């Protein structure tokens, strides 16, 4: 039995902001993840991948990963 997930999930990525390295709140909705840094106002659409090491976050738009 499958259910369509319509709930919104919130995560916080430690040091996740590519601009100021603040904790980055990420909201995952049916349309995909979006993140807004409360510290510097940066926003973007992170790509969250689950690995054995935990959540891995990358960003679309050609930003170099630190
Ligand atoms: Zn920031």
pLDDT at position 66 over 90: no
DSSP string computed for 1-54: --------EEEEETT--TTT---EEEEEETTEEEEE-TTT--EE-EEEEEETTE
Q: How far apart are CA 3 and CA 45, in angstroms?
A: 25
The pLDDT tens digits for 5-50 are 578 889 898 898 989 999 999 898 888 888 999 999 998 888 877 8
Residue 11 CA to ligand 1 center (angstroms) comes to: 15
Residue 3 CA to ligand 1 center (angstroms) comes to: 35
Higher pLDDT, 47 or 65: 47
Residue 49 CA to ligand 1 center (angstroms) comes to: 21
pLDDT of residue 18: 86
Higher pLDDT, 55 or 47: 47
């Amino acid at each position: 039995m499958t259910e369509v997930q319509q709930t919104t999930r919130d995560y916080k990525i430690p040091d996740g902001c590519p601009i100021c390295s603040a904790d980055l709140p990420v909201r995952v909705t049916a349309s995909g993840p979006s993140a807004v840094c409360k510290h510097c106002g940066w926003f973007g659409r992170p790509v969250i991948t689950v690995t054995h090491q935990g959540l891995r976050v990358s960003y679309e738009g050609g930003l170099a990963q630190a």
